[in-house]
Amino acid sequence: MADVVVKPTVRLSGEVSAPPSKSYTQRIVIAAALSHGVSKVSKPLYSEDTEATLRAVTALGAKVKAARDCWAIQGAESLRASKEPIDCGESGATLRFMVPIAALADGTSKLTFQGSIARRPVEPLIESLKDLGAEAYVGKLGARDTVIVSGGGIEGGKTSIPGDVSSQFISGLMFACPLAKTETVIKLSSPLESVDYVKMTQAVLSQHAVEVALGGEKIVIPGNQIYKATDACVPGDFSSAAFLMAAAAITQSNVIVTNLDYETVQGDKAILTVLKRMGVEGRVCRDSVQIEGHGKPLKPIELDARHVPDLVPIIAVLGCYANGTSKITGARRLRLKESDRLVSITEELGKMGAQVAINEDGLTINGASLHGTNVNPHNDHRIAMAAAVAALGAKGETTIKHAECIRKSYPQFFTHLKQIGADVVGGKLDR
70/407 Cα distance (integer angstroms): 20
Nearest residue to 193 (alpha-carbon basis) of 159, 221, 168, 219 = 168
Cβ neighbours of 111 (radius 10 Å): 26
Q: Helix H segments across 333-412? A: 341-351, 381-392
Residue 402: φ, ψ to 5°: 50, 45
Residue 346: φ, ψ to 5°: -60, -45
Q: Which position among 304, 310, 380, 430 bears the catalytic label? A: 310
C-alpha angle with apex 341: 389 to 405, nearest 5 degrees?
Answer: 60
Residue 35: φ, ψ to 5°: -90, 160
130/309 Cα distance (integer angstroms): 29
29/41 Cα distance (integer angstroms): 7
Given the DSSP bridges, would you call strands 374-375 and 398-400 parallel, antiparallel or unpaired?
parallel
151/104 Cα distance (integer angstroms): 6
The verdict on whether 423 is a catalytic residue reads no
23/40 Cα distance (integer angstroms): 17
315/323 Cα distance (integer angstroms): 14
Cβ neighbours of 109 (radius 10 Å): 30
147/123 Cα distance (integer angstroms): 10
Q: Helix H segments across 266-374? A: 270-277, 312-320, 341-351
| Residues recognised as catalytic | 310
